[in-house]
Amino acid sequence: MTTMLTIGQLASYAGVTVRTVRHYHVKGLLPEPERDHSGYRRYGAAAVVELVKIRTLAEAGVPLSRLPALLVADAEEFAAASLEIDRRLQEEIAERERCREHIAHLASGDSLALPPSVVAYLARMRELGFRERLVELERDSWILMAAKMPDAIVSLMEIKRAQIEDPSLRELYLDMGDLVDCAADDPRLPTLADRVVAFLEEVFVRYEDTEDAFPVDQRLFELLDQTFLESVPCAWRLLELLEERGFTGWTNIQRVPAVR
């Protein structure tokens, strides 16, 4: 039997390491062959056929624990299994294609942390001349928002996009951008509050009949307001000034009796 293969010959022909063949013996996938006079394993052609089959399946991503059943399966069972394996391979190929796109995005500096609708909204803000500082602030807010309420983002973005396309609201918002980093006692804040109120009065007249036009969760409003308060230092002061002028809240602003 001197023509029979040593473990090294078997392994290299199948393109695996000697350790891998021994691993398959331990796992019971490949039967232990006879030993020669010095205790070396000696393999025949059948072992090569089996090992190549094992490798073909293992390389296709089939867990070794599934192999014993597959190796004794009849043609019909095997055909069914191979269809499933092929589907998995196709899915993995599609995944890698998606990975390639993601990596390309990363390389061109995009962050991938935001849904496309928000990315488009932020791009439009930049286009309209909003200060970069404000855009970044919005970006961080929307990241948190998207993580907390993923389902609400798309419709929220529609509302926000409509808002910045409204000329008067946009102007107000642009000016607010200049006050994002200001202190609570900044003298421009009362003026801004006056302008917000003037704008709101007009809106409230215009849309008096469509009070519940946005069926948005109250908890979402609270979340958005909180984000505003946490990211803009002078936000609390602005809300205070608005309350003095008869309004409460921010995202879903409402008329109340004036505090002062």
Partner DNA sequence: TTGCTCCTCACGTCACGTGAGGTGGC
Q: State the number of binding residues for a copy of itself (CB under 8 A).
A: 58
Separation of CA 165 from chain center: 28
User: Which of DNA, a copy of itself, none binds 226 (CB below 5-8 Å, type-dependent)?
Assistant: a copy of itself
Collapse the DSSP code of 247 into the 3-class scheme (helix H, G, I; strand E, B; otherwise coil) and give the result. Answer: strand
Least gap, CB of 61 to a copy of itself (angstroms): 8
Q: Closest by alpha carbon to 117, among 139, 144, 97, 148? A: 139
Alpha carbon distance 163, 33 (integer Å): 77
Q: How far is the CB of 41 from DNA (least distance, A)?
A: 3
Which long-range contacts (C-beta less than 8 Å, at least 24 apart) are formed by 136-141?
137/180, 137/231, 137/232, 139/114, 140/231, 141/224, 141/227, 141/228, 141/231
- What is the rounded radius of gyration, in angstroms, for the C-alpha atoms of the chain? 33
- The whole-angstrom separation of Cα 242 and Cα 249 is 9
Site track for DNA across 45-74, x = CB under 7 A: -------------x----xxx---------
3-state secondary structure (DSSP) of residue 43: strand
Q: Which is nearer to DNA, 6 or 252 (CB)?
A: 6
Whole-angstrom distance, CA of residue 48 vs CA of residue 9: 10
Rule CB under 7 A: which of 140-169 touch DNA?
none
Per-residue contact string for residues 65-104; x = within reach of a copy of itself by CB under 8 A = ----------x--xx--x--xx--xx-xx-xxx-xx-xxx
Residues 5-44 that bind DNA (CB under 7 A): 6-9, 16-20, 22-23, 37-41
Residue 43 · residue 5 · CB < 8 Å: yes
Q: Which does 41 bind (CB under 5 to 8 A by kind): DNA, a copy of itself, none?
A: DNA
Binding partner selected for residue 18 from a copy of itself, DNA, none, CB under the kind-specific 5 to 8 Å limit = DNA
User: Which positions from 223 through 242 interact with a copy of itself, judged by CB under 8 A?
Assistant: 223, 226-227, 230
* Nearest distance, CB of residue 252 and DNA, angstroms: 21
Cβ–Cβ < 8 Å for 155, 207 = no
- Rounded CA separation 119/108 (Å): 15
The item of a copy of itself, DNA, none sharing an interface with residue 19, based on CB under 5 to 8 Å by kind, is DNA
Instruction: Based on the shown chain and the rule CB under 8 A, indicate whether residue 2 belongs to the binding site for a copy of itself.
Output: yes
Residues 6+ apart with CB under 8 A from 74: none
Longest pairwise C-alpha distance within the chain:
105
Site membership for a copy of itself, residue 46 (CB under 8 A): yes
* Nearest one of 29, 11, 28 to 19, comparing CA atoms: 11
**Footprint of a copy of itself on this chain (CB under 8 A)?**
1-5, 9-10, 12-13, 44-46, 48-49, 52-53, 56-57, 59-61, 75, 78-79, 82, 85-86, 89-90, 92-93, 95-97, 99-100, 102-104, 106-107, 109, 111-113, 139-141, 143-144, 146-148, 150, 223, 226-227, 230
**Footprint of DNA on this chain (CB under 7 A)?**
6-9, 16-20, 22-23, 37-41, 58, 63-65
